Every structure is written in C-alpha cells, then in structure tokens.
Amino acid sequence: MALATTLALGAATPQLAYMKGPSLEKVNSQFDKKVLNQLDAQRIYDNIDTLAQEPRVAGTDAEDQAVEFIAEEFESYGYDVEIQPFTFFGYTPPSSLSLSVEGFEGELNPRSFTYSVNGDVTGELVDVGLGTVDDVAGLDLTGKIALIQRGSISFGQKVLNAAERGAAGVVIYNNVDGVLNGTLGAYDERYVAAVSLSKSEGEALKALAGSTATLTVEGAEAGDRTSHNVIATKEPTNQKKANDDIIVVGAHHDSVPGAPGANDDASGTAMTLELARVLKNVPTDTELRFVTFGAEELGLIGSYHYVDTLSDEEIDNTVANFNLDMVGSRDAGDLVMRTLDGQPNLVTELSQKSSLKLNGEATPFSQGGSSDHVPFAAAGIPAALFIHAPLEPWYHTPDDTIDKIDINKLQDVAEIVGSAVYDLAQFDHPSQSKNTGKVDVEADMIFEQSVR
C-alpha cells in the first residue's frame, strides 16, 4: 500500500447497501461446490513466503525475480500471460550515511530523505532556524552545513532555500520526539546532501553551531527504471451473457525499500494467484483478468499504466476491480473495503452479500485511496480496496515478514472475494450495474508524502 493515510482506516461503517440480482443462496451454493472447497490458504501462505524473502523495490533485480515467479505461477495454471513493461523515474536510497560534529559526544544516527543526493562535505555547522526564505536571507552558507528545524515549509523547500545560499549540506531535525522519516517530494538537481535527526540530536547540535561538521551521503541513485505488470487472462467459457464484461482482480507485487513486504503486498499477490488457480477451470460467463502491478509504492504507477493502455471499449466493458492490498496480517484489525468516493458500488455490494452469507455479517466499507483501485475508479470503473484495519505496526518496516501472516485471515478474504468474483462472472447483472462515474483524483488519494 502506498504511503498513506493510515488514519481513515477505522472509519465508521456506513449503512449497508445491497443490489438486485440472483438469489444469494443460489450464488453461494454453486460457489461452495465449485470453488470454495478448492481455495488453499496454505498455498497462499507458501507463495507469500516465496515472494517475501527480500524487498521487491520497483525497478530492481528483486522485483524482476518476483515478476518471473508470478508469471511462471500463472502459466502453470494454464494461463497465457502478458508481462507489460513501463518506465518511470526511480530513486535508490543511499547505502551509507554518516554525520559527525566536533564537540558532540556520542554517536549521531542520521536518516536519509527520499530524493536526497550524494555528498561528502566538511564545513561549518550553521543554525538557520526553520530554513524559510526569511531565515536564510542575507546569509552566506557557501560550503557550510545548514542545521534546520522541521516545520512551516516542506523538507524539499528547506533544502532548496539553503542550497540557494550556497550550503553544501543540510541537516533537518524533528520538532517532536522520535525519529524523522521523510521525503523531499521529488527529485531536483538543485538539492544538496540532506539527512534527518531526532529532536534531541538536533537540539544538541544547535548548541554546537559554529563547530566543524562532516556529512557523507553515498549510494543514492536517480534515473529511468523499468517495472512490469503481470496479466493473466481467462476468456469466457459459457458465453451466456449478451455483453463483453471484464472483471479485474489484482494486487501490487512491489514493496518499499528495506521491507520484505509479506503483508504489503505479497499477501494480495499470492491471493490473486490462488484465485486465478481456482477459477481457471471453473466455467464462467465473463472475461477474468488477474493482474499484479509494479511500482504501486511509488504512486500507483503500474496500475495507472495498465488503465491508461486500455482501449475505450475495454474501459467500458470493465465492470469491476477487486484490489487486494494487505490482506493477511496477524496484527491488523478486521477486513474493510475502501472506495475512492466512499460510495457503494458493484464490488462492495457483491462482497457484502458474500461476507454476509459466509460469516453472518457484511464487510463494512468507507472512503479511501492510496492503492491500485484508484486509477480504475478515476476511469469510472467500480473498484474497491480490500484491507485489514487498523494497520499493523509492521507496515513499511523490515518486520513485515512471513511470521506475521495469519492463515485464517487469508482464507476468509479469499472466500469473500472469490465468491463475489464468481457471482459476477456467472450472472448477467443489469447494465446499470456499472454504477460509478469518474472520480477526480487528488494527490493525497495516491499517497500522502511526509514532506513537512
């Protein structure tokens, strides 16, 4: 899941909505016989384990290996597979950071900012307050290292303001307790080497302003990268419908740097594989596409590329997107659904019917973005995110590992989504079932950057 509002994930349950269609008992009776008993949560778990051996950052060899594994799994189920490449501007974080200041006793623990550039700087440490234009006005920072407190303006603007006055390096310290993780927002050639410190570290250095400091940032790289979407398609086998509907089931296979991403989102990827396996040999009336997306963590790049390459006819025919993101954590809350506009749609309605039948209660939904359902909703396609909330404490950390995965949660989500997909793939819902208009997308619907 792209760096996101982990808030809103506990929003109140809205009034439940249901759609007219085939009887629930009929739907699930057929599903129980043909699909439910074939779903294998252990297989999902094992595929998560395979995928989550290391971080799968978009554009890296590790992501390429994941793409190869996913494609081979789809092919082993009998699918024709398309590997869809796309390019993006990528950034590799520094491999090494160091900061020392004369007179400071102990060891400093600098952290990198996303999009910081490399640098090896020794110079005077200068306290420039919040690093605003007014704070640096009239200062000659040539060859010096600017010490700046968090707040008021973005991290990137602080670095640019200092660099424009000649600073060769920047240290930004937190204004609240705890470490500071952040991004400069976007790559800019005008940046200088920048790191973050905790509040206590920064305040200690403020007392040492005027001392000589040495800042080193090494291993950062920026440039064009290639990632891939993996698409497995099942054509209709019954042809009873009088339309060319398409259902997309998907998840993202990339992870953030430093995190093996067992739950985020090897869990959704492995579940997509399992649903593809089970539904491959089940007669269905609708085209099914199982897609794993690359570069979700960098701003939903892969899913936007997939939707952007669809023809107008394909967009019109795509009646649903089931987006599986973080669906197996032992330490997360209950299953919820998120739609971009917070309104019910075909995906939420069918999934509520399935969960009501399977578990005795309808899965709640509310508004939320920050995952691969966003481009589909923006194109007017009914789409929903399936996720457990509140999120686990291991989100986007090195501790997002296989031992945190709950096999019972995997089974539960697979049954709910599988039932809803099978329902929609079997029955000819009314033409008005595609009931979502295009949704305008704000930046924070893609991800919320920690820029201040």
127 and 159 in one domain?
yes
- pLDDT-above-70 percentage for the chain: 87
The residue that leads in pLDDT, 327 or 238, is 327
Same domain (yes/no): 297, 387 = yes
Torsion over CA: 121, 137, 176, 263 (sign)? negative
**Of the residues 219, 251, 268, which one is the last residue of a structural domain?**
219
pLDDT at 428: 61
Rounded CA-CA distance 271/253 in Å is: 11
pTM (global) more than 0.75: yes
Look at the chain and report how many structural domains it folds into. Answer: 2
Helix (H) or strand (E) holding 420, with range, is helix 407-426
**C-beta of residue 196 within 8 angstroms of C-beta of residue 174:** yes
Residue 305, classed as helix, strand or coil, is helix
Q: Residue 15: is its pLDDT beyond 80?
A: no
Considering the domain architecture, whether residues 136 and 169 belong to the same structural domain is answered as: yes
Same domain, 267 and 365: yes
Lowest mean per-residue pLDDT among 20-24, 253-257, 299-303, 371-375: 20-24
In a domain, 7, yes or no: no
Is 57 within the bounds of a domain? yes
Among the three residues 219, 235, 258, which one is the final residue of a domain in this structure? 219
Cβ of 236: how many Cβ atoms within 10 Å? 17
Question: Using one digit for the tens of pLDDT, what is the confidence trace for 190-224?
Answer: 999 999 999 999 999 999 999 999 999 999 999 99
Q: Are both 410 and 293 inside the same structural domain?
A: yes
Q: Kindly report, residue by residue over 332-355, the tens digit of the pLDDT.
A: 999 999 999 999 999 999 999 999
pLDDT tens-place string over residues 421-436: 999 998 665 543 554 5
Parent domain of 153: 94-219
Structure tokens at 228: 């891939």
Q: Are residues 65 and 116 in the same domain?
A: no
277 belongs to a structural domain: yes
> Does 154 lie in the same domain as 235?
no
CATH of the domain at 128: 3.50.30.30
Q: Are 374 and 340 in contact (CB under 8 A)?
A: yes
pLDDT at residue 442 greater than cutoff 90? no
Q: What pLDDT score was predicted for residue 140? A: 98
pLDDT of residue 56: 98
97 touches 120 (CB < 8 A):
no
Give a yes or no: residue 11 inside a domain: no
Considering the domain architecture, whether residues 291 and 324 belong to the same structural domain is answered as: yes
Residue 237 and residue 182 share a domain: no
pLDDT score of 31 = 59
- Give me the sign of the Cα torsion angle 219, 260, 53, 291: negative
Residue 273 placed within a domain: yes
**Cross-strand bridge partners of residue 290:** 232, 249
Instruction: Judge whether 452 lies within some domain.
Output: no
What's 322's domain CATH number?
A: 3.40.630.10
Q: Is residue 56 part of a domain?
A: yes
Chain center to CA of 5: 11
Look over the chain and give the mean of its residue pLDDT values, rounded to a whole number. Answer: 90
Please check whether residues 119 and 150 belong to one and the same domain.
yes
Residue 199 and residue 114 share a domain? yes
Q: Is residue 81 part of a domain?
A: yes
DSSP 7-71: SSTTPPPPPP-----S-HHHHHHHHHHHTGGG--HHHHHHHHHHHTTS---TTSHHHHHHHHHHH
Band (pLDDT 50/70/90 cuts) for residue 181 is: confident
Answer yes or no: do 250 and 392 share one domain.
Answer: yes
Residue that is last in its domain, among 184, 219, 254: 219
